[in-house]
């Protein structure tokens, strides 16, 4: 079967479009009469929810379809749709009587009718909680997703128009949900398909029910001078057509009807009063060629006074949707304004019948009544429309549907949820809420319990059963089991398991830290304060690194144990000769001239070989060893020079294994992972870090690392490596 090209699709007229879709319906003699006779016993005595007789409704729908260019086959389907609900096995019965294509069309349309009824019932009950604009767009998408064949769309459009007509004829008020759905879903869809007369009538009728006072007010304003206005427009139309033809321009001039909803929309969009809507009086001029457009415009501007600011040349500069025409507003001698549009027949066909015409123009939304969306977005929309027009023409064919990769299902409250093709109840649960997904334990689809890996179908109602607490199953991440199709849902499941691992790690780290505090007798220490002292933002961050064995408990011990009291300058010890024969004192420091004198390394400057050092005699603690350049040592020597003693580095008993603690200061730009990166440098250089203190202020971090070294000379190399870490400004020994 031959399909429409993109170019043909853009300019296809509605009857041709319908005819193309109906090639799948095999011709059957007297199909319309047979279908009516088949359905009549079932529906003749039935009424719809609106109160309208079902057979009368089907008759009217068939008549509307005929006026739209629908064949007898499509008209016949309108009766079969309403017979479906009265048959035990509708698909089987209709297939046997009329063929599989008729049955498929009737079943698909019936299914869509039921889903839309659910959403309207929910709206009437005030159950919608979603963004109304989003819900409306989802209804549109769902309508198209159901419509594997354009005939389904045509049937629903015709049915909704008839419902509105019936209410108007009976002088009853249509339910708000029916009118809103007509205005926000069906009319824009008719607009997209280029079924203009249906669009305008549906908009006016829906608006009449939704805003009756405004509708009557505008209708009254139109009626007040209707006769005078029509006489004026007809007089100008006749004169314009006659004089253009006398100029050699074969023009066809017509009055252009004005619809109440269109008038109100323009008044609101441009903040105009009724008298300011210039195109209440309007003519349209159709000419053969582009040159004739400008020739006709020239004559109009010579005969009537133009409003220059209201002139638009959409021929030289077409709208983003491809629309072309000349628009001008002129006044006659009495000052009456009239809008005149001038275009070629080809432009007119595109504007009036092209499926894509006016879509971006009329549905621009955020930019007001006459705003035009950016061409990029319009191009995306026109591409979608081309897909729509290239839809598979055969219901049993293999063509791709417009929303082949998406499905639309309903919550128990009839809110529409968009999901990827192949989505399961688990995907559905995660789309509604992450917590609902985590606690999902079962699902009902259309009231029937199903396995959680059951692929969902368009229009199904899904209800999730949950546990009070708990999390997802690891099986859900097994692609072979088919529990998840949504990338978003998969990411949420992975995140849950990652968080569980972190909880376990933090718990393990907390246990280790708390045991350490008990051993040290420091259970009163606040964990948050301890974490802050160690350079962590929170206690949980500290527990996490401890739990992963990435942070030594020795660092915590160093913070917990207070430093020894500072040396007092009046501490004095008379030097006595040691009874021991050891000439190499503990710590590898030899006091010149004294055997085995007790020594200790000063904590203020932490000397290490081969630093230049000096000794200071204390009381009770032997000789305190300082670096020669230590400011504390110089101050003590200045005040009590007699206590200074000459010392030098000697050989340790465990020569080659002695290590000395030294402090290293670092200034850097604070960032995530800075502490880890610097610690890794010390680790690679086999220098044990036994203490860390950090402080961060306004993006700058100051750190002090206490490391154990055997030779201070090698420390310079390591400081150079620390200085190369990203963000480090300087690193030096304190």
Characterize the bridge pairing of strands 337-344 and 282-287. parallel
Region for residue 247 given its phi and psi (left: phi exceeds 0; alpha: psi -120 to 50; beta: otherwise): alpha
pLDDT score at 133: 62
CA distance 598 to 308: 106
pLDDT tens for 588-603 read: 677 765 655 678 888 8
Mean pLDDT, residues 154-176 taken together = 91
pLDDT tens for 502-542 read: 888 888 888 888 888 888 777 788 888 888 888 888 888 88
pTM of the model: 0.46
CA distance 728 to 692: 16
pLDDT score at 380: 34
Give start-end residues of each CATH 3.30.460.10 domain in the chain.
225-353
Q: pLDDT band at residue 56, thresholds of 50, 70 and 90?
A: very high
Q: pLDDT band at residue 343, thresholds of 50, 70 and 90?
A: very high
Mean pLDDT, residues 283-292 taken together = 92
- DSSP state, 53? B
The CATH fold assigned to 406-485 is Ubiquitin-like (UB roll) (3.10.20)
Does 15 score more than 50 pLDDT?
no
pLDDT score at 194: 59
Does 265 score more than 90 pLDDT?
no
- Residue owning tokens 């200071």: 616
CA terminus-to-terminus distance, the chain: 87
Give start-end residues of each CATH 3.10.20.30 domain in the chain.
406-485
The DSSP element (H or E) to which 330 belongs, if any, is strand 326-331
Does 9 score more than 70 pLDDT?
no
CA distance 117 to 113: 6
Q: E-assigned strands of 233-319?
A: 252-255, 282-287, 305-306, 312-313
pLDDT tens for 170-191 read: 999 998 888 988 888 888 777 7
Exposed, middle or buried by CB within 10 Å (0-12, 13-18, 19+), for 85? middle
Most confident of 231-245, 377-391, 420-434: 420-434
Give start-end residues of each CATH 3.30.70.260 domain in the chain.
660-733
Does 23 score more than 60 pLDDT?
no
Characterize the bridge pairing of strands 312-313 and 305-306. unpaired
Structural tokens at position 269: 């969009």
Does 136 score more than 60 pLDDT?
yes
The CATH fold assigned to 225-353 is Beta Polymerase; domain 2 (3.30.460)
Q: Name the CATH architecture for the domain at 6-217.
A: Orthogonal Bundle (1.10)
Q: Which CATH number fits domain 660-733: 3.40.50.10480, 3.40.50.300, 3.40.50.1000, 3.30.70.260?
A: 3.30.70.260
Q: pLDDT band at residue 320, thresholds of 50, 70 and 90?
A: low
Give start-end residues of each CATH 1.10.3210.10 domain in the chain.
6-217
Phi and psi at residue 652, to the nearest 5°: -80, 155
pLDDT tens for 597-625 read: 678 888 888 888 888 888 888 876 778 88
Q: What is the CA radius of gyration of the chain?
A: 43
125-130: long-range contacts at Cβ-Cβ below 8 A with a sequence spacing of 24 or more? 127/413, 127/414, 127/415, 128/413, 128/414, 128/415, 129/413, 129/415, 130/415
pLDDT tens for 76-110 read: 888 988 888 888 888 888 888 888 878 877 887 78
| Out of 59-63, 547-551, 567-571, 639-643, least confident range | 567-571
CA distance 516 to 263: 80
Mean pLDDT of the chain: 76
């Amino acid at each position: 079967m031959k399909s429409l090209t993109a170019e043909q699709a853009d300019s296809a007229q509605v009857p041709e479009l319908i005819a193309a879709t109906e090639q799948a319906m095999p011709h059957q003699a007297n199909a319309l009469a047979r279908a009516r006779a088949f359905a009549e016993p079932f529906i003749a005595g039935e009424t719809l929810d609106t109160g309208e007789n079902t057979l009368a409704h089907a008759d009217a729908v068939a008549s509307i379809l005929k006026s739209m260019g629908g064949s007898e086959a499509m008209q016949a389907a309108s009766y079969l749709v309403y017979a479906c609900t009265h048959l035990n096995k509708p698909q089987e019965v209709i297939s046997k009587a009329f063929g599989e294509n008729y049955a498929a069309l009737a079943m698909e349309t019936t299914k869509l009718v039921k889903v839309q009824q659910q959403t309207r019932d929910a709206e009437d009950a005030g159950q919608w909680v979603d963004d109304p604009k989003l819900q409306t767009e989802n209804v549109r998408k769902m309508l198209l997703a159901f419509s594997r064949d354009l005939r389904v769309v045509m049937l629903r459009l015709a049915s909704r128009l008839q419902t509105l007509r019936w209410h108007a004829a009976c002088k009853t008020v249509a339910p708000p949900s029916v009118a809103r759905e007509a205005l926000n879903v069906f009319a824009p869809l008719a607009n997209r398909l280029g079924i203009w007369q249906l669009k305008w009538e549906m908009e006016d009728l829906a608006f009449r029910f939704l805003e009756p006072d405004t509708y009557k007010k505008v209708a009254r304003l139109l009626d007040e001078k209707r006769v005078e206005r029509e006489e004026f427009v007809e007089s100008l139309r006749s004169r314009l057509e006659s004089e253009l033809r006398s100029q050699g321009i074969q023009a066809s001039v017509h009055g252009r009807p004005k619809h109440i909803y269109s008038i109100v929309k323009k008044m609101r969009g441009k903040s105009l009063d009724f008298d300011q809507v210039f195109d209440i009086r309007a003519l349209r001029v159709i000419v053969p060629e582009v040159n004739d457009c400008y020739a006709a415009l020239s004559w109009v501007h010579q005969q009537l006074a133009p409003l220059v600011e209201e002139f638009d040349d959409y021929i030289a500069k077409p709208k983003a949707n491809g629309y072309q025409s000349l628009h001008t507003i002129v006044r006659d001698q009495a000052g009456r304004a009239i809008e005149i549009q001038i275009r070629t027949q080809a432009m007119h066909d595109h504007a009036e019948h092209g499926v894509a015409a006016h879509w971006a123009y009329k549905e621009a939304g955020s930019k007001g009544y006459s705003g035009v969306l950016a061409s990029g977005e319009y191009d995306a929309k026109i591409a979608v429309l081309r897909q729509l027009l290239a839809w598979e023409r055969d219901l049993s064919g293999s063509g791709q549907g417009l929303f082949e990769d998406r499905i639309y299902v309903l919550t128990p409250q009839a809110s529409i949820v968009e999901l990827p093709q192949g989505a399961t109840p688990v995907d559905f649960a995660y789309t509604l809420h992450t917590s609902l997904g985590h606690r999902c334990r079962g699902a009902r689809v259309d009231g029937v319990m199903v396995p959680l890996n059951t692929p969902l179908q368009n229009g199904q109602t899904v209800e999730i059963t949950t546990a009070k607490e708990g999390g997802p199953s690891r099986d859900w991440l097994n692609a072979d089991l088919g529990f998840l199709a949504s990338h978003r849902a998969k990411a949420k499941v992975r995140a849950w398991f990652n968080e569980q691992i972190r909880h376990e790690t933090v718990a393990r780290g907390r246990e280790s830290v708390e045991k350490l505090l008990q051993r040290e007798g420091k259970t009163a220490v606040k964990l948050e304060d301890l974490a802050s002292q160690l350079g962590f933002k929170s206690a949980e961050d500290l527990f996490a690194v401890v739990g992963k064995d990435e942070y030594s408990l020795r660092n915590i011990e160093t913070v917990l144990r207070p430093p020894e009291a500072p040396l007092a300058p009046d501490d004095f010890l008379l030097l006595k000769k040691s009874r021991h024969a050891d000439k190499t004192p503990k710590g590898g420091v030899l006091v010149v001239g004294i055997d085995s004198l007790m020594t200790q390394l000063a904590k203020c400057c932490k000397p290490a070989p081969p630093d230049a050092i000096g000794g200071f005699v204390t009381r009770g603690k032997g000789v305190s060893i300082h670096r020669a350049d230590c400011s504390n040592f110089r101050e003590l020597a200045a005040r009590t020079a007699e206590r200074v003693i000459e010392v030098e580095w000697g050989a340790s008993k465990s020569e080659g294994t002695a290590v000395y603690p030294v402090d290293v200061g670092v200034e850097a730009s604070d960032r995530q992972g800075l502490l880890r990166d610097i610690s890794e440098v010390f680790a690679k250089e086999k220098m044990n870090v036994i203490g860390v203190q950090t402080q961060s202020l306004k993006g700058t971090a100051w750190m002090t690392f206490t490391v154990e070294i055997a030779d201070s000379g090698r420390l310079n190399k390591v400081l150079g490596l620390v200085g190369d870490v990203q963000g480090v400004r300087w690193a030096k020994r304190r």
